Structure 1
Amino acid sequence: MDLSHELALGIDIGGTNTKWGVVNHRGEIVQKGDLRTDAHETVEGFIDAIYDTLKPVLAGFGDEITIKGIGVGAPNGNYYKGTIEYAPNLHWKGVIPMTQLMTQKFGLPCSLTNDANAAAVGEMMYGAARGMKDFIMITLGTGVGSGIVANGQLILGHDGFAGELGHTCIRPGGRKHWGTGLHGSLEAYCSATGIVLTAQELLANSNDDSLLRQFSEEDLDSKKVYECAVNGDPIAAETYRFTGQVLGEALANFVMFSSPEAIILFGGVIKAGDLLMNPTRQHMEANLLPIFQNKVRLVFSELKEADAAILGASALVWEIKE
């Protein structure tokens, strides 16, 4: 079969932005773009917007190219049912029949999985996890997601929701999550939002001078916390040290659960580099049994942030169609 004329559409739905890419069989993204997710209060409005964006793009490839289908990575995406279910970081509440709605709009077959699972598949096919049969992908962005691969297979669970490590309780009785209402979850501390909350708490509990004080509560974001940390601000630096501690302690639990070859960190938060990585590695190793220590590689993703989930989502198309 000549595959050179076939393309797949990969869509990564995030809490803030949605990224899309047109992908060939070699994993090359031939065209890509993005649009705001949070600008659309209803899923129907969102699908209309993405259709209006992509219709001229897909038409531009001409009649010689076949778009085989659509793969979607989304928060709380159910691989088996094609639904997004009770995603705390999206405006659209309840159970959303995403694949059904996308197929109705585009006239193309559509498959869906959890956004972090899609990123894990992309990393396994094209990134730092190439050749690995056991690894965990942790996505650190608007939320904290995860994709777990064990014995060469993506762990989905009986209902398609396995691997929600971001909502595991790492600080019992701790910070209340703004979306789920749970206390002490990993996402409440190690997401971009969690980093800002930590910085705000440290500022409130200190009278020390800080570059962070120049920003209002509404204007402070994780990027500004990072920039202040790079410029030597002690409260900003402590924010990342504490975030790394919480993340490292959680990763130690995850290591002892599945004994992965590597844990791969992915997402906007990893732009902090060693500010995050050093305390994370330190506290992960400190909380492992000796049989697990110094065995698990802790690395940053090799793929562009925008690309991993797009590539993984697009791989769903080839899997279903062939």
Structure 2
Amino acid sequence: MGTITRKREVVLALDIGGTYTKIGLVDKNGNIIGKRVFNTGSKNSFQGFVLNLEEEVGLLKAASGNMVKIIGIGIGAPNANFYTGQMEHPPNFKWGDTIPISDTISSLFKLPVVLANDANAAALGEYKYGMAKELKHFVVLTLGTGLGSGMVVDGKLLLGANGMAGELGHVNVDPEGRSCNCGLKGCLETYASVTGIKRTVFELLGELKEESILRKVSFDKMTGEMIAEQAIKGDVIALRAFEITGEILGSKMADTVAHLDPQAFILTGGLSKAGNVLLKPVVEHMEANLFGAYKGKVKVYLSTSESADAVLGPAALFWQDVP
């Protein structure tokens, strides 16, 4: 008789972003068996996303052969409510006010689903598999299309009464400031995100006369990595944009310290790839705005996770409750 090979148990992990969705098969130890990336289509229909997802998951499963068994699905998504399983009023999406993510995807694949805010999922991923293994109190900031935040207090995700605690992207920087997709003005994510720093760059291009390669790039074509690359090369406009971003973000991180007294912040997402160009002004302005009792006590780290590793957070969401 032939030997029966036991299939490897994995979670199908989905990281739904405003621009791209990353999917992967992840085992309990955080090994990524396979992964794919596709355009989210956040400005199109939710039905279109579901069709694309079905196709992409089919391709992912085919690539893994017949060696894995998917036992469940973990999903990180903007404005996701852990309790209701819905995305609620996501500012950078045109899918509707409340989107039944958990029910739709659970029905599609006939598997149990755990859903949480994308940054909450990222925080859990850092805690279980990443830089926060030795920490009990920390905040993860995802600096992508928008700004997400996940908070871990005493080793547990802070969820809040409605499952939506930690929306630091929508704390106010300036009541008369930039219009945000959420309908408010002056939200932190309109300054400290990839979209925010692009807006800052274009304001600076209008105000300053310095030469910059960024003058040749349209708003739609510009990326956070592009601005970071130019800043590292010494581009005056890009460096000033990071200085402004770091000042605003650092001051709001100081406010968060007063609320939570964390050991550390972990910065992840597109903007974090700028390294010290971002880290230096953030730390400087956070320290300058800290209440005296906290000065010198709060670390700021750049996540070492690759962007494709974003699936580890949603996977950790599901695996945390599996014995």
TM bracket, shorter-chain basis: over 0.9
- The equivalences for 1:43-62 within 5 A come to 43-58=46-61, 61=64
Of 236, 239, 242 in structure 1, the residue corresponding to residue 241 of structure 2 is 239
Matched, 1:98 2:66: no
Partner of 1:72: 75
CA distance in 2, matches of 1:102, 1:175: 35
Of 81, 85, 88 in structure 2, the residue corresponding to residue 82 of structure 1 is 85
CA distance in 1, matches of 2:67, 2:110: 18
CA distance in 2, matches of 1:147, 1:3: 36
Give the TM-score normalised by the residue count of structure 2. 0.93
- What CA deviation, in whole Å up to 9, does each residue of 1:282-319 have, x standing for no partner? 00000001110000110011322221x41121123234
Of 107, 110, 118 in structure 1, the residue corresponding to residue 110 of structure 2 is 107
Distance change in 2, residues 1:192/1:60 (3 Å):
closer
Q: Conserved in 1, the CA contact under 8 Å of 2:136 and 2:153?
A: yes
CA distance in 2, matches of 1:232, 1:130: 35
Q: Conserved in 2, the CA contact under 8 Å of 1:146 and 1:164?
A: yes
CA distance in 1, matches of 2:298, 2:269: 20
Letter in 2 for 1:170: V
Greater displacement, 25-34 / 215-224: 215-224
Of 270, 273, 280 in structure 1, the residue corresponding to residue 272 of structure 2 is 270
Greater displacement, 7-16 / 199-208: 199-208
CA distance in 1, matches of 2:265, 2:7: 34
Letter in 1 for 2:173: I
| Alignment RMSD | 1.9
Offset at residue 234 of structure 1 (A): 1.2
Q: Conserved in 1, the CA contact under 8 Å of 2:124 and 2:317?
A: no
Offset at residue 59 of structure 1 (A): 5.1
CA distance in 1, matches of 2:178, 2:44: 27
Q: Conserved in 2, the CA contact under 8 Å of 1:77 and 1:161?
A: yes
CA distance in 2, matches of 1:114, 1:72: 8
Distance change in 2, residues 1:130/1:277 (3 Å):
same
- What CA deviation, in whole Å up to 9, does each residue of 1:183-205 have, x standing for no partner? 11110001101101001111112
- What CA deviation, in whole Å up to 9, does each residue of 1:131-163 have, x standing for no partner? 211000000011100000111111100110111
Matched, 1:128 2:151: no
Q: Conserved in 2, the CA contact under 8 Å of 1:270 and 1:300?
A: yes
Partner of 2:255: 253
Matched, 1:313 2:280: no
Report the 3-state secondary structure (helix = DSSP H, G, I; strand = E; otherwise coil) of the residue aligned with 1:306.
helix
Letter in 1 for 2:93: L
CA distance in 1, matches of 2:234, 2:305: 29
Letter in 1 for 2:54: Y
Distance change in 2, residues 1:126/1:103 (3 Å):
same
Give the TM-score normalised by the residue count of structure 1. 0.93
Greater displacement, 117-126 / 87-96: 87-96
- What CA deviation, in whole Å up to 9, does each residue of 1:99-157 have, x standing for no partner? 11001111111110000000000000111100211000000011100000111111100
Partner of 1:164: 167
Partner of 2:18: 15
Report the 3-state secondary structure (helix = DSSP H, G, I; strand = E; otherwise coil) of the residue aligned with 2:190.
helix
CA distance in 2, matches of 1:208, 1:5: 57
Q: Conserved in 1, the CA contact under 8 Å of 2:36 and 2:60?
A: no
- Runs of 4+ in structure 1 deviating by more than 6 angstroms, as ranges, are none
Partner of 2:158: 155
Report the 3-state secondary structure (helix = DSSP H, G, I; strand = E; otherwise coil) of the residue aligned with 1:30.
strand
Letter in 1 for 2:46: V
Offset at residue 5 of structure 1 (A): 2.7
Unmatched segments (≥5 aa) in structure 1: none
Matched, 1:296 2:293: no
Partner of 2:203: 201
Report the 3-state secondary structure (helix = DSSP H, G, I; strand = E; otherwise coil) of the residue aligned with 1:92.
coil
CA distance in 2, matches of 1:314, 1:291: 37
- What CA deviation, in whole Å up to 9, does each residue of 1:218-261 have, x standing for no partner? 43333332233233221221011111111110110111110001
Q: Conserved in 2, the CA contact under 8 Å of 1:4 and 1:24?
A: no
Report the 3-state secondary structure (helix = DSSP H, G, I; strand = E; otherwise coil) of the residue aligned with 2:271.
helix
Partner of 1:283: 285
Q: Conserved in 1, the CA contact under 8 Å of 2:87 and 2:101?
A: yes
CA distance in 2, matches of 1:63, 1:142: 36
Distance change in 2, residues 1:173/1:85 (3 Å):
same
Partner of 1:210: 212
CA distance in 2, matches of 1:153, 1:66: 28
